[in-house]
Amino acid sequence: MMFTRKSRKFEKNDARCAVCGGDMSGVGSGIEVCPDCVRRRWKDCRPRLEAIHAGSREVFNLPLRAPGDPGGFACDLCYRRCRIGREDTGYCGIRSGSSASIHNDGRTHARLSFYYDPLPTNCVADWVCPGGTGAGYPEFANDRCTEVGYYNLAVFFEACNFNCLYCQNWSFKKTAGTRRAWHSVNSLTGAVTDRTSCICFFGGDPTPQLPYALLVSEAARRERPGGILRICWETNGSMDPSWLEPMARISMETGGCVKVDLKAWNPRIHRALCGCDNRRVLENFARLAEWVPLRPDPPLLIASTVMVPGYVEEEEVAGLASFIARLNPDIPYALLAFAPQFFMEDFPCTSRAQADACMAAARRAGLRRVRLGNVHFVH
């Protein structure tokens, strides 16, 4: 089923919070409840928010919740811990209980698209990574500065275990449950050329198809012994901890990085925006931070946060930045301007005042490497 929600440009309206009746004219109507009520009146907000998330999935025939069949196939890839019966599909839409899905389920085959992204890219980490700066030359970079003439193999996984109402890449959900071509490990490793200096797994999110991504990474490295081929991840960070170490290790060894999108600090704001809380994300981020001193340059771990008007502003950024600074104040942190999309398409872009306040909050928290990204969306 195609997404048919009417697209509209933001304009001030007379929207009121469905819980407290307060003015919401400074933000869009997609969430229906104001951030104060989300934080302080969760019991009143929860049914409405759950209905919005369910509706945003139903239109794509995605499961409304993680299946819990006691006798079903147990998936250990992420915090949702789906138990998938014969007639079920996992929350991410990739794995099913059918015996026919043993290969086409993100293990030896994956649902994805890929392209060659000339360096330097618009990657979240381009301001600190070898491809954009030459950091780690000559071990991890082909040049002392930007790797002009080389490419990032950008691998977009068409599945996700979150349900972000402002997803910038929501169109991948149109392929859920279809017979769209799946890629074998060999078909993707065959796309690595002598001008490919990094592979970035993103999406969607790599988490639902992590076994496949790790197989590709190892196979590609074997075919390029001694050559520069960085392995990078852009993820929501919610995978099971047992999968975190192999991800971090292969990035550490190759000069790549793990870019974790920290959506919000308050678990209720996170649940309102993404359909889940952030406990696993923060725990995994702290685990990754333990690896940072082992290879300070180029940095292994990068954090980012999208500044959602009204919901992820100075207070949320201050909480996240303080958390990061306690772990290691040199972890790079990119604050990204928001662009209206999906169920939050009638929201405004990030304002200059919001961006400045968030940048100041991150620096006050003690972070030494803070950057404003997506500046073309700031108004």
Asked, as a colleague might, if the bond just before 120 is cis with ω within 30 of 0, I would say: yes
Q: Is residue 129 part of an annotated ligand binding site?
A: no
Q: Map 302-334 to HEC letters.
A: EEEEEECCCCCCHHHHHHHHHHHHHHCCCCCEE
Contacts (Cβ under 8 Å, ≥6 apart) of 311 = 27, 31, 35, 38, 264, 269, 272, 273
Q: Is residue 160 part of an annotated ligand binding site?
A: yes
CA separation for the pair 201, 205 (Å, rounded): 8
Task: Provide the sign of the torsion angle of the four alpha carbons 277, 279, 285, 288, taken in this order.
Answer: negative
| Under 8 Å between Cβ of 208 and 157 | yes
Q: Is residue 37 part of an annotated ligand binding site?
A: no
CA separation for the pair 106, 213 (Å, rounded): 8
Residue 72, amino acid: G
* DSSP 8-state symbol, 173: G
Task: Provide the sign of the torsion angle of the four alpha carbons 72, 73, 75, 76, taken in this order.
Answer: positive
| Under 8 Å between Cβ of 84 and 72 | yes
Can you say which residues are annotated as belonging to the binding site? Answer: 160, 164, 167
Can you say which residues are annotated as belonging to the binding site for [4Fe-4S] cluster? Answer: 160, 164, 167
